């Protein structure tokens, strides 16, 4: 059974810092990995999707990397802003089916 772990559970940084969120998964037979953002009381917003054949994806100040063989992904946020404060979740999709397995999330607070 796939298990997804995110470290740290919570992170508080001053504005402007670069930061890294970590995601690890136990079964490397994945189809893709997705990073989501969730604001309090809201649904999830997809940030980046990395296919299993890819090593990284970039969108603006966000960069996600994937090392499938070691079961790890990182989300790098450059020059963090207070508006980045949210919970970040990673989710993996298996090679068959569309069932995503989510991590528990990292709650990020960026202080002005």
Shortest Å distance, C-beta 18 to another protein: 26
Q: Pick the piece of the chain touching another protein (CB under 8 A) from 7-15, 21-29, 65-73, 86-94.
A: 86-94
Q: Does residue 103 belong to the site contacting another protein (CB under 8 A)? A: yes
- Cβ neighbours of residue 99 closer than 8 Å, sequence gap 6 or more: 93
- Please state the three-class secondary structure of the chain as a single string: CCCEEEECCEEEEECCCCEEEEEEECCCCEEEEEEEEECCCCCEEEEEEEECCCCEEEECCEEEEEECCCCEEEEEECCCCHHHCEEEEEEEEECCCCCCEECCCEEEEEEC
Shortest Å distance, C-beta 97 to another protein: 6
Please state, in angstroms and rounded to a whole number, the distance separating the CA atoms of residues 111 and 93: 33
Contact letters (x/-) for another protein, 6-45, by CB under 8 A? -------------------------x--x-x-----xxxx
Shortest Å distance, C-beta 24 to another protein: 15
Q: Does residue 51 belong to the site contacting another protein (CB under 8 A)? A: yes
Q: Does residue 100 belong to the site contacting another protein (CB under 8 A)? A: yes
The contact set with another protein (CB under 8 A) reads 31, 34, 36, 42-46, 49, 51, 89, 91, 93, 97-100, 102-105
């Amino acid at each position: 059974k796939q298990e997804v772990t995110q470290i740290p559970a919570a992170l508080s940084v001053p504005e402007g810092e670069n930061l890294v969120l970590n995601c690890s998964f136990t079964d490397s037979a994945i189809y893709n990995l997705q990073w989501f953002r969730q604001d309090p009381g809201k649904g999830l917003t997809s940030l980046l999707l990395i296919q299993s054949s890819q090593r990284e994806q970039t969108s603006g100040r966000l960069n996600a990397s994937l090392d499938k063989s070691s079961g790890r992904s990182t989300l790098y946020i450059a020059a963090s802003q207070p508006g980045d404060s949210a919970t970040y979740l990673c989710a993996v999709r298996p090679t068959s089916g569309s069932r995503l397995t989510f991590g528990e999330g990292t709650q990020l607070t960026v202080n002005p």
